């Protein structure tokens, strides 16, 4: 576990004249598990969006697998990273249609097996009948688990999880944390205020107020 997978070098972000991050440095090694904490508005989600090329830094660079994230590398980065945002809106689609849409993209290039879908539904305590329901009609906790399952079905090794357990009860939180923390092949960066993520071996990074 000694190869750097993500590096924020001297990153500064200014959103509409407001300084959000200033000279921020962070190096993440392959297989590491990181918990990002900090007050609301300190720029935690912005760190994820910079890595995905959705926000351009005002100063500094982000590197993924030693490549600077820019117009040439961003599609590569997006095929390697699974991003779970705080809120997901998929219109009126059923869960099945939502999955079909994601797996129809050329950048994904495969469909998950039914066994894998069923195994994950079982692990996260969801009934497969939910596949037929409108995503919009699900409870907050069901939606969170569906999006986490989707991120795992993508078979990527780097996970950016933005408050992924905020709507789950304690026992489900623990299952989600177990799943992501116990697999040494995964690099996991989670933004959460939930103490359940504070596991041994997980590095805590506090984003300062500026
Ligand atoms: N596209 C944008 N344009 C202008 N301001 C933005 C933009 N995106 C984010 N911001 C501002 O940048 C700051 C940091 O936002 P960010 O979402 O990264 O914070 P956060 O630490 O993840 O917050 P929270 O814990 O509340 O989710 C906030 O003040 C936000 O309003």
Q: The whole model's pTM is what? A: 0.93
Centre of ligand 1 from the C-alpha of residue 46, in Å: 6
Number of other CB atoms surrounding residue 87 within 10 Å: 9
Is the C-beta atom of 15 inside 6 A of ligand 1? yes
How distant is the alpha carbon of residue 139 from its chain centre? Answer: 20
Ligand 1 lined by 12 (C-beta under 6 Å): no
pLDDT at position 1: 53
Closest CA to 180 of 195, 194, 208, 161: 161
Residue 42 binned pLDDT confidence (cut-offs 50, 70, 90) = very high
Could you give the C-alpha distances from 111 to 103, 115, 150, 168, 198, in angstroms and in order? 6, 12, 11, 27, 34
Phi, psi angles (nearest 5°) of residue 169: -75, 170
Residue whose CA is at the smallest distance from ligand 1 atom 3: 15
For domain 4-205, the question of CATH label 3.40.50.300 is answered with: yes
Give the separation between CA 96 and CA 82, rounded to whole angstroms: 19
pLDDT digits (tens, 9 = 90+) for 21-39: 999 999 999 999 999 999 9
For residue 174, the model assigns a pLDDT of 94
Q: Is 72 exposed, middle or buried (0-12, 13-18, 19+ CB in 10 A)?
A: exposed
pLDDT per residue over 70-103, tens digit each? 999 999 999 999 999 998 877 788 999 998 888 8
Residue of 24, 45, 49 best suited for mutating to test ligand 1, as the one with most atoms within 8 Å of CB: 45
Measured CA to CA, the distance from residue 208 to residue 210 in angstroms comes to 6
60 lines ligand 1 (CB under 6 A): no
């Amino acid at each position: 576990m000694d190869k750097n997978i993500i590096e924020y070098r001297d990153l500064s972000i200014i959103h509409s004249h407001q300084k959000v991050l200033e000279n921020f440095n962070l190096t993440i090694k392959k297989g590491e598990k990181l918990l990002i904490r900090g007050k609301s508005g300190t720029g935690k989600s912005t760190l994820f969006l910079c890595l995905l090329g959705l926000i351009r830094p005002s100063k500094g660079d982000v590197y993924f697998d030693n490549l600077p994230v820019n117009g040439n590398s961003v599609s590569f980065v997006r095929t390697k990273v699974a991003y779970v945002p705080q809120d997901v809106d998929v219109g009126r689609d059923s869960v099945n249609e939502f999955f079909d849409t994601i797996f129809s993209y050329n950048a994904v290039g495969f469909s998950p097996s039914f066994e894998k879908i069923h195994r994950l539904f079982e692990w996260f305590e969801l009934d497969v009948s939910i596949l037929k329901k409108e995503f919009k009609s699900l409870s907050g906790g069901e939606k969170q688990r569906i999006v986490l399952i989707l991120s795992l079905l993508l078979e990527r090794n780097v996970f950016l999880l933005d408050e992924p357990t905020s709507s789950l009860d304690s026992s489900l939180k623990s299952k989600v944390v177990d799943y992501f923390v116990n697999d040494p092949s995964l690099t996991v960066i989670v933004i959460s205020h939930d103490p359940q993520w504070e596991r041994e071996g997980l590095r805590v990074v506090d984003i300062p107020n500026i």
